[in-house]
């Protein structure tokens, strides 16, 4: 389990993080039969929204500033934590778009017949809800695991604040 001198886990403030091979995590999903796999992906997205929302709240509290500054912080942080290269796109009153290249979830899962980047979906939901206000629903609309050039997501406003 050596990391060549690098920490395999750590903390960011009070939050504890764990480094785990993407194929180890995503291989678990591969081994689940349907519908358990779909249920597990949905649960992971909900958990990422809940716990990722805590991180987004901290970014807001520590002065991430306006929405544009917060989204820039999220892009930078996602890359630092190994979640791929995030680029927020269209941002309207009722829609927020996100493109992710080099998703560790798609790469760790391999070829799939469905979208597999549930943690990113959950994080996008948390980001949209906290940064833009209201109740948002996120979904992955294209996935590298299905042969797309990048993973693309959208969050849609369901109820206004």
Average pLDDT over every residue of 118-144: 96
pLDDT at 123: 97
Instruction: Go through the domains of the chain in sequence order and give each one's CATH number.
Output: 22-27+39-159 (3.30.1380.20)
Residue 128 pLDDT exceeds 90: yes
pLDDT at 12: 67
Indicate the pLDDT class of residue 2, thresholds 50, 70 and 90: very low
pLDDT at 156: 98
Residue 13 pLDDT exceeds 80: no
Q: What share of the chain is helix, strand, coil (3-state, %, to 5)?
A: 45, 25, 30
Instruction: List phi, psi (to 5°) of 21.
Output: -55, 135
Average pLDDT over every residue of 13-26: 87
Q: What is the DSSP letter of 32?
A: S
Residue 5 pLDDT exceeds 50: no
**pLDDT tens per residue across span 62-102:** 876 688 889 999 999 999 999 999 999 999 889 999 999 99
**Of 1, 28, 42, 22, which is closest to residue 139 (Cα–Cα)?**
42
DSSP codes of every residue in 61-112: HTT--SHHHHHHHHHHHHHHTTS-EEEEEEE-SSEEEEEEES-HHHHHH-S-
pLDDT at 160: 82
pLDDT at 75: 96
Average pLDDT, the chain: 91
Residue 9 pLDDT exceeds 60: no
Q: Is the Cβ–Cβ distance between 131 and 71 less than 8 Å?
A: yes
Indicate the pLDDT class of residue 7, thresholds 50, 70 and 90: low
Q: Is the Cβ–Cβ distance between 153 and 138 less than 8 Å?
A: yes
Structure pTM? 0.91
């Amino acid at each position: 389990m050596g990391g060549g001198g690098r920490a395999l886990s750590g903390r960011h403030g009070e939050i504890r993080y764990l480094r785990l091979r993407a194929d180890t995590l995503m291989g678990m999903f591969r081994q689940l039969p349907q519908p358990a796999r779909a249920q597990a992906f949905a649960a992971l997205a909900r958990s990422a929204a809940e716990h990722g929302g805590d991180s987004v709240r901290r970014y807001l509290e520590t002065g991430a500033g306006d929405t544009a500054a917060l989204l820039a912080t999220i892009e930078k942080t996602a890359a630092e934590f190994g979640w791929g290269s995030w680029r927020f796109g269209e941002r309207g009153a009722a829609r927020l778009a996100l493109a992710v290249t080099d998703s560790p979830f798609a790469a760790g899962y391999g070829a799939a017949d469905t979208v597999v980047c549930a943690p990113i979906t959950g994080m996008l939901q948390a980001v949209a809800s906290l940064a833009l206000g209201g109740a948002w629903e996120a979904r992955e609309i294209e996935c590298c695991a299905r042969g797309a050039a990048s993973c693309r997501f959208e969050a849609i406003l369901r109820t206004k604040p």
